[in-house]
Amino acid sequence: MVLSQLLQALGSGVRGGRNLTCDEAHDAFAAILDGVESEIQIGAFLVAMRCKGVTCEELIGFARAARERAKMPCAGVDGLVAVSVPMEGYEASAPLEVPAGLIAAACGARVLLLTDRAVPPRRGLTAASVLHHLGAGPTWTAKEAEDSVERHGFAAVTTVGLLPPLLGLRRVRRDVAVRTPLATVEKLLAPPGASVVLGAQPGPVLGTAVEVTQALGHASALTIQGVEGGVVPALTRRTRGIHLDGQHQVPMTVDPGDFGFASEREPELPMFGPPEEGQGTGDNPMLVSAATDQVLGVLAGDTGPARSATLLAAAVMLRAARIARTFAEGVDLAAEALESGAAHERLVKLRGR
């Protein structure tokens, strides 16, 4: 088996092994997705990769194997921006990438939001959960996503719909109980040629994320360390990121104070107590309902931190899509689309599709 051989190459620790080549990483992930490895071997391999630390070459190999097996929507669609957020969701935040994506679509971008529901180990709140509660649930096939982007300028699509073998790995992810390279690979299922907005976890990972995105053929990408590893910039601090524009990688920050959005707190959700054993925040119907109300409030014109954070996230998408040249221009365009009701109209049409 491929994984048993590569586990020997990885060794028992940082000093005892070596990194995989891009081809080896490709073959390993292909074997995982093709179902020829046992769950024990898969779990051992993923934990070994996490302990060692994943390199750019390894992530590129993993992502290429995943893309080869995925049914990718919207290939060649002009102005497409693929928004990739943590599939395992959020523990304390509403998925404000939903209203931000609708706003960006109202400004002329074509937005493809990659999402999913109840992904272990976190099983947190996701865009898929909120959209389902809104009656505008995510699509499950590439064709449905393409149709929605064409008609409404916006689609949310599940990663397991694009790459069904990911569903079969849910039990491994639950039992391993820590984040593994799977959490990164599924965020890289963006259509070839699309602009990309990628949420990154805290820590020294920005450079790696951008290099991988560039190697996968994307000419425009914005990787950002938003709240809980998402794409929504923080209001209580500066948010770091890197903008890939052609061959140029430009470090940047989003400072909420530049737009009058600085706050002592992030957009909050009410607390309903800790989740039950084996469940996450995304399993709590009251929390999903509260997050849905927050999203609807933003689209209806409510003021406050959630609106500010959403406008910043929309500006990030508009800059990645090359509709706005600066974040300031993006915030202005987003505010206009929100205040005119154009973004809310997108949601109404999605509900009626």
Phi/psi at 251 (nearest 5 deg)?
-60, 145
Extents of the domains making up the chain: 2-69, 80-351
The string of pLDDT tens digits covering residues 86-112 is 999 999 899 999 999 999 999 999 999
Is the pLDDT reported for residue 276 higher than 80? no
User: What pLDDT, on the 0 to 100 scale, is given for residue 266?
Assistant: 95
**Spatial separation of the C-alpha atoms in residues 131 and 277, rounded to whole Å:** 25
User: The CATH number of 2-69 is which of 1.10.3210.10, 3.20.20.140, 1.20.970.10, 1.10.3720.10?
Assistant: 1.20.970.10
State the pLDDT at residue 14.
Answer: 52
pLDDT of res. 247 = 86
Q: What is the 3-state secondary structure (H, E, C) of 261-309?
A: CCCCCCCCCCCCCCCCCCCCHHHCHHHHHHHHHHHHHHHHCCCCHHHHH
- Specify the pLDDT at position 214: 94
Residue 179 pLDDT greater than 70, yes or no: yes
Residue pLDDT, tens place only, 284-311? 899 999 999 999 999 999 999 999 999 9
pLDDT surpasses 90 at 275: no
Per-residue pLDDT tens over the stretch 221-249: 999 999 999 999 999 999 999 999 888 89
Instruction: Supply the pLDDT for residue 16.
Output: 63
Give the per-residue pLDDT at 3.
Answer: 84
The verdict on whether omega for the bond into residue 121 sits within 30 degrees of 0, i.e. cis, is: yes
Q: If you average pLDDT over residues 340-349, what whole number do you get?
A: 94
User: In Å, how far are 28, 135, 145, 208, 241 from 200, measured between CA atoms?
Assistant: 24, 29, 24, 10, 9
In CATH, 80-351 is 3.20.10.10? no
Q: What is the reported pLDDT for 82?
A: 97
Condensed to tens digits (0 to 9), the pLDDT of residues 39-77 reads: 999 999 999 998 888 999 999 999 999 999 999 998 888
